[in-house]
Structure 1
Amino acid sequence: MNINFDLNDLQAFRAVVEKEGFRRAADSIRITQSALSRRIEKLESALGVKLFERTTRKVSLTNVGRAFLPQVERLLDDLDLALLSIGDGGATRRGTLTIACVPSAAYYFMPHAIRSFHGQFPLIKIRLIDASANEVSAAVASGEADFGLGFTGNLAPEIEFSALLEERYVIACRRDHPLATRDVVTWAQAYEYEHITLDKSSGNRLVLDRALAGLKMGKESVCEARHVTTVLGLIEAGLGIAAVPSIAMPLSPHPILASVALIEPEVVRHMGLLKRRGRTLTPAALELEQRIRALPGTLPRD
């Protein structure tokens, strides 16, 4: 056999498989679609086999292509791992990582992991999909995201959940609010004040509605918002207080915001990493995952 192909051709092959199409694959490795097609044709010609079945609507692997895929993934991942382990090789590594993350973790939590990763691998681009819990699960299940950060709930059957931390809901308020000096507050006491709630499209709203069923609140909410990050902005503006997951709060003292523990009942949720079953993370994705796993025990809290 005349081995007349190179690593770029193998990377093109893997990209088409992962992105399930030539256009998205070309975008992911930053070449034109015609250049990508030439790489695949070159690879098929060198191997003397057809790797893809192509129609106007769909691109799928042939039987030979499916058998070839694990060998390519192992070769490219081994090469990535070797390069990452050589001195400061990370400084010249290129590529894109796509991470799906619920907004409550995307605002204050994830930036610490991304900053650490970027310091070692400055040329690897991070694409962060900040979306609802259901959308995070869907992005991981479809392969759009390498992995996700979300919480337990209605996860797709092809998703594996790996617990990262248990977090409680707290009251977020301004530092000049009467509750800011309290150590704890009950839900009933908190909701005697003007407050903001998350709307029914939020995964957090589902958690809270289940936990607080039957609990009578003193006042109706003054505003509803879809994302926790929006709620925090409304609190900063002085519109009221809100119950939010603790991970959404600043990880060190904040000039405006404060948090107070909520009791009676204490409501918790389980945050974790979401992966598609059977998918092996690339060495770069594993590096970022390790940084995320290390965060809960290392960051200061207000």
Structure 2
Amino acid sequence: MKCNEVNDYCDMRMNVDLEDLKAFVATAEMQSFRAASESIHLSQPALTRRIQKLEAVLGVPLLERTTRRVSLTAVGRDFLPRARRLLDDLETSLLSVREIAERRSGLVSIACIPTAAYYFLPDVIAEFTKEYPSIRFRIVDAGANEVLQSVINREVDFGITLLGADDPEVHFEPLIEEPFYLACRRDHPLASRDEVTWAELSDHRFITVGRASGNRLIMDLALSGAPVRPRPYYEVQHLSTSLGLVEAGLGIAALPRMSLPADSHPLIAAIPLKAPTVNRTVGIVRVPQAKASPGAEQFLQMLLTRWQSEAVPET
């Protein structure tokens, strides 16, 4: 395979073998020569030779080898998503042109914040798969900033995230504006309230996400001028961890409505937060100039239709 993408470590003089790329991606993902060789049905010596050949062609080491594990070099970490994209693009291009045109097969790549990936995508994918059973999906569930970067790097067809962007290449289309709620155990003193102010949370052990989280940024900006605000007692990295601590009775948390369990949850109650009302906007982010596959375009239209017609339920 000849690669003309100068920015993707190749130039017109480089002959990069497709099997070399497959060997590298498998080893990088599994961090094991043995597991990678088994997954692509290749002997370990042959796998090693292919990776050495690829490194020789590129002129840089991609993997660091020790007796116990395999890890990526800095260049290898940067090259891995590019190698995946090259393989995905080639595989898609080798499918029947007629089938792709009719959206009967192909690959849809989506980067998505975890709450949307867990609570919304499965239903839409299930509906889409009934009509197009041969179309495959690759979902990158990551934080808001990582989703945005995946879209900018053209590693996915589109993203679902919190953040708009000032990058002129990127277009952010708002879909849902959802409020933050108090999450607490049903035996907590605040659980019987119809609504709670943010100031009242300062008297309780508050669970928050780290400063790198888009949700934390939204809350900090909204409460920047508040005379009284909740004081973090626990800090976690994921909203799901917050719910686990709430369920264990260790504290309370402020979470977007989509990330909360259903009203029938036996232990956790959700109460609207006021003064101020804090909302986050979830939407589609994509690069308009980047041409997505017909399957991805079809799925995006179904996603937009379903999401815009379904409001997040109030409690």
Q: Tell me the TM-score normalized by structure 2.
A: 0.65
Q: Which residue of structure 2 lines up, in the alignment, with residue 234 of structure 1?
A: 245
Contact 1:104–1:245 (Cα < 8 Å) also in 2: no
Q: Where does residue 151 of structure 2 map in the other structure?
A: 140
Q: What is the CA distance between 1:198 and its match in structure 2?
A: 1.1
1-structure distance, mates of 2:302, 2:226: 39
Q: Matched residues in 2 for 1:217 and 1:287: separation?
A: 48
Alignment of 1:269-288 (within 5 A): 269-288=280-299
- 5+ long unaligned stretches in structure 2: 11-15, 27-39, 41-56, 61-78, 80-91
Distance across 2 between alignment mates of 1:206 and 1:24: 44
2:58 is paired with a residue whose SS is coil
Secondary structure (helix, strand or coil) at the match of 1:269 reads: strand
Q: Deviations over 1:81-139 (max 9, x none)?
A: 42x4xxxxx4xx3x332211112322322222223233333443322211111111100
Once structures 1 and 2 are overlaid, which stretch shifts more, 205-214 or 117-126? 117-126
- 1:298 equivalenced with 2:310 (yes/no): yes
User: How has the CA–CA distance of structure 1 residues 116 and 275 changed in structure 2, closer, same or farther, with 3 Å as cutoff?
Assistant: same
In structure 2, the partner of 1:200 is 211
User: How many residue pairs are counted as aligned between the two chains?
Assistant: 246
RMSD across aligned positions (CA): 3.8
**2:173 pairs with 1:162:** yes
Partner Cα distance (2:248, 2:302) in 1: 33
Counterpart secondary structure, 1:177: coil
Instruction: Identify the residue that residue 52 of structure 1 maps to in structure 2.
Output: none
Q: 1:239 to 1:278 in 2, by over 3 A?
A: same
Q: What does residue 186 of structure 1 align with?
A: 197
Q: Which residue of 1 aligns with 2:58?
A: 56
Read off the aligned partner of 1:212 and give its amino acid letter. Answer: L
Partner of 1:259: 270
Percent identity among equivalent residues? 36
Given candidates 214, 220, 226, the residue that maps to 1:215 is: 226
Q: Which moved more, 1:203-212 or 1:98-107?
A: 98-107
Which structure 1 segments of 5+ residues have no match? 1-11, 33-54, 60-71, 85-89
- 1:222 maps to a residue whose letter is Y
Match of 1:156, SS?
coil
Contact 1:192 1:217 in 2 (8 A): no
Structure 1 contact 164–270 (Cα < 8 Å) conserved: yes
Q: Secondary structure at the match of 2:203?
A: coil
After the TM superposition, which of the residue ranges 129-138 and 245-254 deviates more from structure 2?
Answer: 245-254
Alignment partner, residue 40 of structure 1: none
For 1:99 and 1:264, the matched residues in 2 are separated by 36
Q: Please give the TM-score of this superposition, normalised by the length of structure 1.
A: 0.68
**1:80 maps to 2:80:** no
Q: Distance in 1 between matches of 2:287 and 2:274?
A: 35
One-letter identity of the residue aligned with 2:58: T
Cα contact 2:165–2:171 (8 A) shared by 1:
no
Question: Are the equivalent residues in 1 in contact too, given 2:201–2:230 (CA < 8 A)?
Answer: no
Matched position secondary structure for 2:290: coil
Other structure's SS at 2:220 match: helix
- In structure 1, C-alpha distance between the alignment counterparts of 2:128 and 2:20, rounded to whole Å: 24
CA distance in 2, matches of 1:167, 1:24: 46
Kept in 1: contact 2:263–2:269 (CA 8 A): no
Compared CA separation, residues 288 and 187, structure 1 to 2 (3 A): same
Distance 1:145 1:274, change over 3 A: same
Q: What are the superposed Cα offsets for residues 267-289 of structure 1, whole Å, 9 maximum, x if unpaired?
A: 11221101113013222212322
Contact 1:152 1:269 in 2 (8 A): no
In structure 2, relative to structure 1, the CA distance for the partners of 1:181 and 1:146 (3 Å cut) is same
Deviation at 1:186, TM superposition (A): 0.7
> What is the CA–CA distance in structure 2 between the aligned matches of 1:147 and 1:237, rounded to whole Å?
37
Amino acid at match of 1:285: A
Mark the CA change 1:76 to 1:281 in structure 2 (over 3 Å): closer, same or farther.
farther
